[in-house]
Amino acid sequence: MRGERGFALVITLIVTALLVALLVEFVSEVYVDTSHSHNFVASQQASILAESGLAGGIKLLQVSSLMRQGQSYSSLSEPWAKPQSYDAGVGSVTITIEEESGKMNLNQATSPNGTDNQNQTSAMALRLFKNLKLSADLFDALMDWVDENDAPRSGGAETSYYSTLKTPYKAKNARLETVEELAMLKGFTPEILTKLRPCVSVYGSLNNAEFVTPINVNTAPKEVLAVLDEKMTESLVESIIDSRMKSPIKSQRDLLLISGMDTILPNIVDKITFSGSVYRIHAEGRVGESVSVAEAVVRMASGQSPPLILYWREY
């Protein structure tokens, strides 16, 4: 009898242990499923907030445009230039906007035939790379990526190089469509892209045949102002920035009020403008630990015409 009772006790303990294990597994699965469900909902809400941020950014640009009607300039003193953050109840959304018109258009620094354009933008690009302490080979790689031939420049790369990579691909042999595309080019590391991104763009004006995309002196970073002309000094760049902080530069006459600009202006008159029309909107939606980002580049039209979306991505 004692043996039977001992055997029954062992069986009871084993069954109890199995039941406890099953209960723990069940509770764990319920917790994981619930957690996944909450995370999915939070991620969807964050995505919606980010998208709404882009819509809000466009509205902000339209308001700024209405505020400066009749004015032929745009500047960093306008509402769009200040980061906006809103509490949306379930989460928050942050909007930042930068003017692409204050950057250098890389597409105009290159040529379809693979030879140096010897134009104003290519010279500016070479000066920018030098000032940022970037190798001239990077400019060769950029030229090779855009040109229509497969003959590599001395420091560049064509399909013969890209086809040997771990994930092979061909040189595009066409204009850049996004700044992010630079990551595919030989030598363009994340660190280099971080240096270049605030200074360069791939968006010109409506006239794609233009030789130079004018740069808005009211919004251009100091690195871009510095390469407008080989005679542009650091002190002159600082004077331009100090002047536009006090009041937007509205015309060539305003520039001439800056000491030293009288000798520079004739050389840059075709490279500059005082207003912009292309903007990059960056919106970040956050719900709990979930973060979603939406980014768009828009060209603002005059009058009541809707803006044109040039680029859109979410991540």
Tokens representing 90 are 């379930």
Give the residue, 116 or 137, on which the prediction is more confident.
137
What lies within 8 Å, CB to CB, of 205 at 6+ separation is 213, 214, 277
User: Out of 3.90.850.10, 3.40.50.360, 3.30.1300.30, 3.30.420.280, which CATH number does the structure's domain 1-103+198-315 have?
Assistant: 3.30.1300.30
Q: How much of the chain, in percent, has pLDDT values that exceed 70?
A: 83
The pLDDT, as a whole number, for residue 186 is 97
Phi and psi angles of residue 107, each rounded to the nearest 5 degrees, phi first: -60, -25
pLDDT, tens digit (0-9, with 9 covering 90-100), for 89-129 = 889 999 999 999 999 999 988 877 666 555 678 899 999 99
Cα–Cα separations (whole angstroms), residue 69 to 15, 65, 98, 197, 252: 81, 6, 20, 30, 20
Q: Is the pLDDT of residue 275 over 80?
A: yes
The pLDDT, as a whole number, for residue 204 is 77
As a whole number, mean pLDDT of residues 11-34 equals 56
Cα–Cα separations (whole angstroms), residue 25 to 18, 21, 28, 30, 226: 10, 6, 5, 9, 65
Of 6-15, 23-32, 198-207, give the lowest mean pLDDT range. Answer: 23-32
Tokens representing 170 are 């061909």
The pLDDT, as a whole number, for residue 111 is 78
The pLDDT, as a whole number, for residue 67 is 82
Count of Cβ atoms closer than 10 Å to residue 148 Cβ: 12
Burial class (CB in 10 A: 0-12, 13-18, 19+), 8: exposed
pLDDT, tens digit (0-9, with 9 covering 90-100), for 44-98 = 889 989 999 999 999 999 888 888 777 889 999 999 999 999 998 889 999 999 9
The pLDDT, as a whole number, for residue 213 is 85
As a whole number, mean pLDDT of residues 2-30 equals 57
CA 219, 141, 205 angle in degrees (round to 5)? Answer: 35
Tell me the domain boundaries of the chain.
Answer: 1-103+198-315
Count of Cβ atoms closer than 10 Å to residue 293 Cβ: 17
| Cα radius of gyration (the chain) | 28
